[in-house]
Amino acid sequence: MALIPLESNPDVMTKFIHQLGVPLKWSIIDVYSLDPEVLAMVPKPVLALILLYPESEKVHEYNAELEAKIKAEGKEPPSNVFHMQQCVSNACGTVALIHAVLNNLDQIELQDGLFKDFLEKAKDLSFTERGMLLVNTASDIMDTHEQLAQEGQTPVPPKNAPVYHHFVAFVEKDGFLYELDGQKSLPINHGPTTKDKLLENAARVCGQYMARDPDEVGFTTVALVPTE
């Protein structure tokens, strides 16, 4: 099974989270640069930073090494972090938005809707079970993805066309910066942070992604922030 990929388009992503129950007071916006001067202009508080990066051979090698290291350490996932597996091709945009929203419920008061219903069913499940729940029972969320994936600015690719980009989300939980990726078996802890420093510290990790692939230009970042 494969979906039409969700575009890194703030208008489309904002419409998506609003349709699923995030109040209008929160929106997705472009972060045009990782330079400190640009980051300083992003509305606060920043609840999450989402990175879209090209899946080059270098990135695949790094991710494989990281996943092997995670499994070798045998650590239990932090119970307070909502993390779910991506079980469908091209669903990484939806998974990243779910990670961004459901790890910020101390600030986002979900309205009745698809996110709230999904959380109620998924909160006590495992990483893999949450991913399968999205595929098998949360058809309304998948249908919303499919609808909005066709509203971007670029031509809609065929469902089974190869996609070379991947979304990950960065959030703060209990004083730590976590990278949440539906293709990695555990949240990646990037060290201490605060809510105020989330954007700055997440931008640093995004910069490391870019540094690993200096010849690639297909990186974009968006943030979940208060609606201006």
Choice among 92, 99, 145, 206 that is catalytic = 92
What pLDDT digit, counting tens, does each position of 173-208 carry?
Answer: 999 999 999 999 899 999 999 999 999 999 999 999
What pLDDT digit, counting tens, does each position of 98-130 carry?
Answer: 999 999 999 999 999 989 999 999 999 999 999
C-alpha–C-alpha distance, residues 101 and 21, integer Å: 10
The pTM assigned to this predicted structure is 0.90
Three-state DSSP state, 175: coil
* DSSP string over 111-148: PSSHHHHHHHHHTTS-HHHHHHHHHHT-HHHHHHHHHH
Tell whether the model's pLDDT for residue 160 goes beyond 70: no
Please indicate whether residue 87 is annotated as part of the active site.
no
Choice among 83, 99, 145, 166 that is catalytic = 166
Please indicate whether residue 18 is annotated as part of the active site.
no
Q: Which residue has the tokens 């990135």?
A: 59
